[in-house]
Structure 1
Amino acid sequence: MDLRNHDLKEDIREYWSKRSKTFDLAFGHRIAPGPELDAWAAAVRDAVGPAPQKVLELACGTGEVTNVLLSLGHEVTALDFSEAMLDVARAKHAGNAQVRFILADAERTMEPDQSYDAIICRHLVWTLTEPEQALADWFRVLKPGGRLLVFDGDWAKLTPLGKLASLAVRGLERFIGHDPHYDGAMSERHADIMKRLPFGDGLTIEKLVPLVEEAGFEAIRLPSRRPIAVAQRREADLRNRLRTLFYRRFILVASRPR
């Protein structure tokens, strides 16, 4: 491990641990039952198939994607390197024998070779300190034919439409006030961490696909994320509907060769 990354990793752990108690209150983190949960479940089914699988969930946070996976009948090992996040996730899924929560580093999982049918992560890849190392590890723990499913986005810059939406949100907040939970995600601490990351200037498909290919994955697909965004907007207020337009988000699916 590059020791230069040690302090950065600790800063990341501390940041997410401090956000654990209120994380589900920030728009875009909680996956609401109903249309939004259904949209996430459909994206997972499309990526890994309808049959129950042995799934490794990376950076599970408070266990929201875990809930999606469990709703589909998968056997889940959910890891995070924030004990505070895991405490929330364990409480949320207490008594469910289909999930095992472990404290571990998503970049070096320490899980056995070829032991999972699928690996799934949401909003993790942009935080990686050693993306090549992480992808090599994920390739290692997948069974031949296993699938990698990534939900992520470019959080460093607004899209052209996002810039207009951001201006609209600022104007709206003059009347309804600021959302402290959302602002927490864009704090100075968050910005300081981001600028020190390999993807600090933005994670894009154009950057990620070559790294995934170099790690040995094949059959790379980029399914549309639009159904998830549409489902989020159905229940959201105006401010949060506008927020779904801010950033370029994507889904990536890839396979370990058989």
Structure 2
Amino acid sequence: MTALHHNLSLKDEIRDYWSMRSENFDSQPGHEIFSADERRAWLALFARHLGEASGGRALDLASGTGVISLLLAELGYSVTGLDLSEAMLARARAKTAGKPIRLYAGDAEDTLEADDSYDVVATRHLVWTLPDPPASFREWLRVLKPGGRVAIVDVDMTNPRPGNGRPLRLLAGIARRFAKLPPPAAHAAMHADIVSRVYFSQGCRPEEVARLLGEAGFVGIAIDRDLHAIHRAQGRFMPLHKRLERASQDRFLVSARKPG
């Protein structure tokens, strides 16, 4: 894959897209957490990959409406959340008031945070939108303390999940034909245009994310596709075609460690 040049206009479009989506973002399963079962599954996933908080500092990149920041705070971290969208941040501030969470407008590719200042960097559904993941991963390595860990939760929406992804995608298509679906949302074309211009325009494969993390200097890299408990909990609030569609996608967490 060839990285796109750092393109401010593309970032502006990404920011504007998510600002537009902020109004209804928390109404959708898979964005907000809708049940105690899902929250416990998220906490277990992050604890498995990040270890004990022990009063450490966490950087939540593309923090959105604060969902992951709240989970990290519940695990015991002091959290800084950065997001390009002020509209997202406004909603996050309302949800996180009184928690050990600071929220700022900021760029995941250029955080302006100090060297060696965080124990943990966490992201959810950010990497597939990045114009320049290699530069981002070098930046995340810089802000982590020696031995600090990164946890990347993301999805390849282009290529089916290994194993049963392809037949599930076919079933999802059949279920969509029987569902009474509204016309495509106004933002669908904007989303498709943005996706066509980012680094992972052909799909965000976890193996490629892992390779780029290694090139940036991370070690101890692991790919975890066992997010079933989260997906089961989310699926209770989704129609059949959406459950099948999401089950067909390659959803994963990639974790890694800064040497030292």
Calculate the TM-score normalised by the size of structure 2: 0.90
Counterpart CA distance in 2 for 1:45 and 1:64 is 16
CA distance in 2, matches of 1:81, 1:145: 28
Tell whether 2:108 aligns with 1:106.
Answer: yes
Q: 2:143 pairs with 141, 144, 153, which one?
A: 141
Q: How many residues align?
A: 251
What do residues 30-82 of structure 1 show as CA deviations (whole Å, max 9, x unaligned)?
Answer: 11231101000001101111334210000011111122112222110011010
Please give the per-residue CA displacement for 1:136-177, whole angstroms capped at 9, x wherever unaligned: 000000000000000001122444134224213313423xx4
Q: 1:45/1:116 Cα in 2 relative to 1: closer, same or farther (>3 Å)?
A: same
Report what 2:88 is aligned to. 85
Which residue in 2 is equivalent to 1:218? 219
Which aligned pairs between 1:15-54 and structure 2 lie closer than 5 A? Answer: 15-52=17-54, 53-54=56-57
User: Please, which runs of 5 or more residues in structure 2 have no aligned partner?
Assistant: none
Cα distance change of structure 1 residues 204 and 3 upon mapping to structure 2, 3 Å threshold: closer
Residue number in structure 1 paired with 2:74: 71
RMSD of aligned residue pairs (Cα, Å): 2.0
* Alpha-carbon contact 2:153-2:254 (below 8 Å) kept: yes
Amino acid at match of 2:16: E
Q: TM-score, structure 1 length as denominator?
A: 0.90
- Identify if the C-alpha distance between structure 1 residues 214 and 123 changes in structure 2 by more than 3 Å, giving closer, same or farther: same
Q: Does 1:167 align with 2:173?
A: yes
Map Cα deviations across residues 195-222 of structure 1 (whole Å, 9 max, x no partner): 0111011010222111100000000112
The answer for unaligned runs of 5 or more in structure 1 is none
What percent of counterpart residues are identical? Answer: 41
Q: 1:92 to 1:160 in 2, by over 3 A?
A: same
Shift of 1:236: 4.2
